[in-house]
Amino acid sequence: MTKSIVVDHVSKRFTMRYHRTIKQMSIARLRGQEISDSFLAVDDVSFTVDQGESIGLMGLNGSGKSTLLKVINGVMAPDAGQVLTRGRIAGLIATGAGFHPQLTGRDNVYLNAAILGMTEKETKARFDDIVEFADIGRFLDTPVGHYSSGMFARLGFAVAVHTDSDIFLVDEVLAVGDKPFKKKCMEKMKEIKASGRTLFYVSHAAGSVRKMCDRVIVLEKGRKAFDGPADEGIKFLHYDDTEDDVSSEEEQDEELGSDV
């Protein structure tokens, strides 16, 4: 089986600074106070993903999910270990990522598509489909700095799902969408899964993870705590799953994906 993602003993450390100015730091030093501290957002995590697998990445807020996703995407470099990926990566790892606030939605479609590796010819060929999926109407030709978080998500997700890719990463996109948009996103991700692409899906919603993913990886305080079948992963987290259909799932799913 072809390996799509290899995460090999990956760690990512962040530094928290308690004082902003040199004066504040100097005073703190004189008083014997700490001026900074560091913590491991991702701590020695290893796993492999086969091509075509659908993985749910779960854990409480602050467990390191979004940081790990950004390391896999190449947005962040690990401080230790390595990540190997095969093929083109697309997806939405943060609302508005890759957008320039002073450019219009139309211009940002081309900008975001280029960041994801699409050529101008490819983007032109899919432009109408992207715009139809985003469904932001006349706001397409206004600066995205005026967009709501929901409109950011619509446009960003629309570009991502129309990009030819081997790996599709999704984090927090469903947190800001309305019910019809969430349903449309879920249907599109089902198509991505059926196409044989690798899907890496960060979610707090047990129902959507069970429907979308065959395997779950759980992070606890930056470390891998579980890696196995989706049902067992959900039970490991003690998540109550009362979401029997897409409608009830959308009502209960808060999708707080944008943590550390």
How many Cα atoms within 13 Å fall on the side-chain side of residue 216? Answer: 26
Q: Which domains does the chain have, with CATH numbers?
A: 3-87+166-252 (3.40.50.300)
The pTM of the whole model exceeds 0.75: yes
More confident: 103 or 256: 103
Q: Which of 42-51, 111-120, 202-211 has the highest mean predicted lDDT (pLDDT)?
A: 42-51
Rg, Å, the chain Cα set: 19
Percent of the chain whose pLDDT exceeds 90: 42
The DSSP 8-state label assigned to residue 255 in this structure reads -
The arithmetic mean of pLDDT across residues 82-88, rounded, is 93
In the chain, alpha helices (H): 22-30, 65-73, 105-115, 120-134, 149-161, 179-194, 206-212, 230-237, 246-252
d(CA 127, CA 109): 8
How far is residue 203's CA from residue 207's CA, in Å, rounded to a whole number?
A: 10
Min mean pLDDT across 90-104, 134-148, 193-207, 245-259 is at 245-259
